[in-house]
Structure 1
Amino acid sequence: MEVRVESKSFLYDVLLPKLEPASWVLAIWGFIASWNQLAGGDVFLIIGLANLALVYYLSAYKPRSLTNTHGPNFESVASQQQILNTSQDTSFLLDTLAPKLIGISGAVVLIGTLFKLLFWSGSAIMLTVGTATMVLVVLLMALNQRLNRRAVVLAAIGIIMLTVSSETLMRQLHRDDPQLVELMVYQIHHPHDRAAADAVRIHINRKRIQR
């Protein structure tokens, strides 16, 4: 059962629905390109994941008058009678707070994912906070027999990124340069060693100049 929405917004009804799938395509291609060491992979990753984070962050502030509670983002696992009863009573926790948490936490998870794939500092904190919040929202909605596909996907991405170590990603994404891998791994184990960070930066700059 869907709630009819009469009011339209260019941002929420036109721009963001088109930007979201396009950003997913760019992000996925960026990851594939980076994994296979193709040129431009990092650029596609940054554009795709940054745009996705922006889409989900803005979606957290979608006005209630434009919200379609039982639209494509919500999959009810209840019976039709339960859906009908639920649609008659709005819940602040599920209909107001949960969408905001999904949008904001999703943006945090995606930026954390971007930082981890590019080996920038701060990814662990963002992934931990964003994923933990997203998992709590998913569990809450599941207990109320309402699932959000977006939340499930983002929670899964966060869990995967937390599970895979940075060292594993480094050895795969930079497998063509063992010396850089060793420098980066050393930097991970010595985060406060400025000389280690400088060595990584110098090595990367040399590679760029040689290209």
Structure 2
Amino acid sequence: MNTTQQQTAEFQSFNLSDWLGDWESFEHYIDSEDSSIRSTWEEAEQAVLADPKIAPMAAHGIRTFWSMACSTTSPENIIHIGYWTVGEPRSEQADVRITWYAEDNTDLDTYEYRIDHVIEHGLEGSPTYVFVTDDPNAEDSPFRWLLAIAPLPSRKAFGEGGLLSHLHFQYANDLGTLVAAGETEDAGETLRNPRWYATMCADEGTVEDRCRIIRALHHLG
């Protein structure tokens, strides 16, 4: 499959129903003081330290590692993103509508985004949607460009006994802040910061459902 065919396939695979609804930052899991979640993090840390190949991840504590990797702040935005609400766009030219909220539920911005293109190997080496808003009010907004992988698993999986859905994302005012074009036409785009995994999780379920996400992240039974 050539690049054009791959792009077309990824555009066609966009399923808005997997995105719709409320999302919360994975930072809530990291910072939680709930005893069950804390116990799960301790279990995860011991598992990581027991594996020499990945033990350095927990050198300063496993939660410290993930808090750095999954930070929702950026050089352009010092406010932690606490939540998203994703809805259907009102414009026929847009693919999705996202409201960004701070930790205190302050509405930071609401924009309608269209898919500009797809990076074949982006976050987690996976196809990554490149969204942009054409809203003139977003000219100076840090949320003008958004990179995101499709939610995993699909949002409906939770209702069928699966894990809570989650997705990784990055954002900036200018696309060049997030990606670098290849030196040759076939090289494609690469992430400027492939270690930044800002993450949103479906805002539903129980504490135990959140613990299951942490266990799955560290391949715990």
Return the TM-score normalized by structure 2. 0.25
More strand by proportion, 1 or 2?
A: 2
Structure with higher RCO (Cα < 8 A, 6+ apart): 2
Higher-helix-fraction structure: 1
Structure of greater Rg: 1
Q: TM-score, normalising length from structure 1?
A: 0.26
